């Protein structure tokens, strides 16, 4: 009997730890929901793949028959689409640039205006330095020619 009590006392901590570590009802519901959704999506993925393969099997002979017409048509449509997209992109870029210039000229200080002002100032400084350099050059050339004569 003492052995039986010791055996039950040893099992109690094990049973308590198993009970404490068992998942709660909420965790079980989450797992079942996630498994159901995952399985449903897996089935839908398989059906989509099957439909795609069947569609490809049916469409391949038609594509082979009509390829002399379809390939140039697809190339033409692709080029037209790229041309329209590029044209639209250039139009948007031009409108954006004109809007920025309008804001800059009217003094609304658009984003990046301080960088433009700084660059303009630096260019003016360089031009002034080069202008000073070019004005001094003819005098030096004139002085060297008069001394050699």
Give the pLDDT band (50/70/90) at residue 128: confident
Q: Where are the alpha helices (DSSP H) in the chain?
A: 2-21, 25-105, 113-148
- Over its C-alpha atoms, the chain yields an Rg (Å, rounded) of 41
Residue pair 110/100 in contact (Cβ under 8 Å)? The answer is: yes
pLDDT of residue 3: 60
Instruction: Please give the average per-residue pLDDT across 110-136, as a whole number.
Output: 85
HSE toward the beta carbon, residue 124, CA cutoff 13 A: 6
Residue 22 has what DSSP assignment?
S
Q: State the average pLDDT over residues 59-84.
A: 90
Here the tokens at position 25 are 């009802």
Domain residues of the chain, as ranges? 26-67, 70-133
Stretch 99-123: mean pLDDT: 90
Residue 1 CA to chain centroid, in angstroms?
74
Q: Cα dist. 131→74, 79, 144 in Å?
A: 58, 50, 20
């Amino acid at each position: 009997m003492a052995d039986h009590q010791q055996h039950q006392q040893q099992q109690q901590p094990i049973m308590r730890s198993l009970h404490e570590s068992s998942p709660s009802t909420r965790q079980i519901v989450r797992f079942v929901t996630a498994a159901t959704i995952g399985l449903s999506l897996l089935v839908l993925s398989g059906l989509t793949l099957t439909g795609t393969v069947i569609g490809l099997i049916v469409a391949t002979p038609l594509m082979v028959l009509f390829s002399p017409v379809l390939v140039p048509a697809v190339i033409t449509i692709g080029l037209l689409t790229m041309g329209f997209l590029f044209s639209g992109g250039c139009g948007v870029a031009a409108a954006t640039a004109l809007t920025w210039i309008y804001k800059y000229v009217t003094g609304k200080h658009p984003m990046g205006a301080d960088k433009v002002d700084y660059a303009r100032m630096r260019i003016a400084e360089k031009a002034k330095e080069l202008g000073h350099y070019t004005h001094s050059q003819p005098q030096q050339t004139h002085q060297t020619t008069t001394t050699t004569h």
